[in-house]
A and B are shown apart, each in its own frame.
Chain A
Amino acid sequence: MPRYGRTGLDPGSFSPGVTFVLLLLSVFGACNDAGFALVSVDPIYGWTDGCNAITLSGHGFGKDVKATLGGAEITGLTAPEAPKDDRPSEVGYMLFGVAPAGHHGYADVTLTSDGQTSTLKNTSSYYYVECPAAGTIDAVTPSEGLAGGALVTITGCGLDSAAITARIVDAAGTPQGTDLPLTSSCGKGTVTFEAPTLADGTWYLELVDVATNTPLTGIPCAPADTADSGSSCTDHPLVYGAAQ
Chain B
Amino acid sequence: MITLLALLTVPYVEAADGGSVRGSVTDDSGLGIPGANVVISGPLVSGKLIATTDENGDFRLINVPVGTHDVEILKSGFPAVKRKIKVKLDESAFVSVTLQVAGITVDVEAAQPVLDTTRSAVSTELGKDALDQLPVGRSYQDVVNILPGVSGRVDTSSGGPSDGNPSVRGEGQYGNNYLLDGISTRDTATKTFGTNVNFDAIDDIQVYTDGAPAEFGQATGMTVNVVTKDGGDEHFGSAAYYLDTNASSGTYLIADLTKHKEVETKKRDFMTHSLSLLAGGPIMKEKLWYLASLDLGTDTTTYEGMDPDAPYQAYDGGGFAKLTWFATPDAKVRYQFNGQLATIDNSETTSQVLPEAQTRYANTDIGNQVEVEWRPTAKSAFDVKGIYSVTSLDVTPMSGNHDIAQVINQETGEYSGNASDFDLNDRSRAGFTFSWTQLADKALGDHKIKFGIEAWQLAETRDLQYTGPGDGLIGSSTTDYPCTSPDYADCYTRQEFQYVGPLTHKSIVLSTYLQDDWQPVKTLTINAGVRLDHEQLFTSQGTAILEQWMPAPRLGVAWDATGDQKTKVTLNAGQYYDVNGSAFAEWGDTRTSAGYDYYYGPYSQTEPYFSQGAYPLVFCTPESKATLDDAGQQAANDACNGDLRPYHLDKVVLGVDREIVPTFAMGLRGILSQTVDIPEDINYDDTTWVITNPDTKRRDYWAVEVTAEKEFDEHWQILASYTLSEAKGTMPGQFETSSGGSFGGNGNEVGVFGDDIGNADMRAQLFDAGYGEYVAGYAGLGSYTSEAGYYGYLPYQALHSVKVNGSYTLTTGKFNHTVGAIYEYSSGNAWQKRGWVPNYQDYSAFPEGRGTRFMPPVHYFDVHFAEAFKMTDKQSAELAVDVFNILDLGQAITYYENDDENFGLTMYRQAPRSIRASLKVTY
- Chain A interface residues toward B at CB < 8 A: 3-10, 22, 25-26, 28-29, 31-32, 34, 37-40, 42-45, 55, 57-60, 85-88, 93-94, 105-106, 120-124, 127, 129-130, 223-224, 226, 229-230
Contacts and interface: CB of A to CB of B under 8 A. Distances in A.
A88 B897 contact: yes
B853 A122 contact: no
B892 interface: yes
A43 B776 contact: yes
B772 A129 contact: yes
Contacts of B760: 106, 122-123
A19 to B, nearest CB: 11
Contacts of B783: 123-124
Give the interface centre of B490, B849, B906 by most chain A CB atoms within 10 Å: B849
Nearest to A31: B799
Interface stretch (B290-298, B588-596, B621-629, B788-796): B788-796
B906 A86 contact: yes
A30 to B, nearest CB: 9
Contact of B800 (A28, A57, A129): A28
Interface in B728-764: 756-760, 763-764
Given A5-B856, A7-B857, A93-B852, A44 B779 contact: yes
A157 to B, nearest CB: 12
A130 B897 CA distance: 33
A201 B200 CA distance: 74
A58 B890 CA distance: 28
Contacts of A10: 889
B317 interface: no
A59 B831 CA distance: 12
Contacts of A6: 856
B374 to A, nearest CB: 53
Give the interface centre of A25, A29, A224 by most chain B CB atoms within 10 Å: A29
A38 B849 CA distance: 8
Nearest to B789: A39
B603 interface: yes
B854 A223 contact: no
B268 interface: no
Nearest to B756: A123
Contacts, number: 160
B770 A223 contact: yes
B859 A22 contact: yes
B853 A88 contact: yes
B892 A86 contact: yes
A124 B799 CA distance: 29
Contacts of B773: 223-224
B891 interface: yes
Contacts of A223: 603, 770, 772-773
25 contacts: A3-B854, A4-B854, A8-B858, A8-B892, A9-B859, A25-B825, A26-B827, A31-B827, A32-B793, A32-B827, A34-B792, A39-B781, A40-B846, A57-B848, A57-B849, A88-B853, A88-B897, A122-B785, A123-B760, A123-B763, A124-B782, A124-B786, A127-B772, A223-B772, A229-B604
Interface string B808-851: 00000000000000000101101100010000000000111101
A6 B828 CA distance: 10
A57 B800 CA distance: 27
B168 interface: no
Given A7-B856, A29-B800, A86-B906, 7 more contacts: A3-B853, A37-B788, A37-B852, A44-B779, A59-B852, A85-B904, A123-B763
A59 B847 contact: no
A57 B906 CA distance: 20
Give the interface centre of A32, A127, A129 by most chain B CB atoms within 10 Å: A32
A57 B898 CA distance: 13
B219 interface: no
Contacts of A224: 773
A34 B853 contact: yes
Contact of A87 (B852, B899, B904): B904
B849 A29 contact: no
Contacts of A34: 792-793, 849, 851-853
Chief secondary structure at chain B's binding surface: loop
Nearest to B759: A123
Contacts of A86: 892, 906
Interface residues of B, number: 60
Contacts of A37: 788, 849, 852
B775 interface: yes
Nearest to B763: A123
A42 B772 contact: no
A103 to B, nearest CB: 13
B767 interface: yes
Contacts of B768: 129-130
B610 interface: no
B367 to A, nearest CB: 42
A59 B853 contact: yes
A230 to B, nearest CB: 8
B154 to A, nearest CB: 13
B855 interface: yes
B502 interface: no
Contact of B758 (A29, A121, A123): A123
B853 A4 contact: yes
Nearest to A104: B768
Contacts of B776: 42-45
B802 interface: yes
B763 A40 contact: no
Contacts of A87: 897, 904
A37 to B, nearest CB: 6
A129 B767 contact: yes
B806 to A, nearest CB: 16
A226 B603 contact: yes
Contacts of B890: 8
A141 to B, nearest CB: 15
A44 B891 CA distance: 35
A85 to B, nearest CB: 8
B895 interface: yes
Contact of B857 (A8, A40, A85, A120): A8
B752 to A, nearest CB: 10
Given A40-B847, A105-B764, A8 B788 contact: no
Nearest to A83: B904
A132 to B, nearest CB: 9
B79 to A, nearest CB: 54
B849 A58 contact: yes
A22 to B, nearest CB: 6
Nearest to B858: A8
B400 interface: no
A58 B767 contact: no
Contacts of A22: 859
A223 B757 CA distance: 20
A29 B854 contact: yes
Given A34-B793, A40-B848, A4 B831 contact: yes
Contact of B799 (A29, A60, A85, A120): A29
A8 B847 CA distance: 26
B781 to A, nearest CB: 5
B849 A59 contact: yes
Interface in B689-719: none
A124 B760 CA distance: 10
Given A5-B854, A59-B852, A43 B847 contact: no
Contacts of B609: none
B482 A29 contact: no
B481 A226 contact: yes
A29 B786 contact: no
Given A40-B848, A93-B848, A123-B783, A28 B853 contact: no
B603 A39 contact: no
Shortest 5 CB-CB contacts between residues of A and residues of B: A59-B852, A28-B800, A29-B827, A34-B852, A45-B772
A28 B764 contact: no
Interface in B858-906: 858-859, 889-892, 895, 897, 899, 904, 906
A130 B770 CA distance: 10
B701 to A, nearest CB: 15
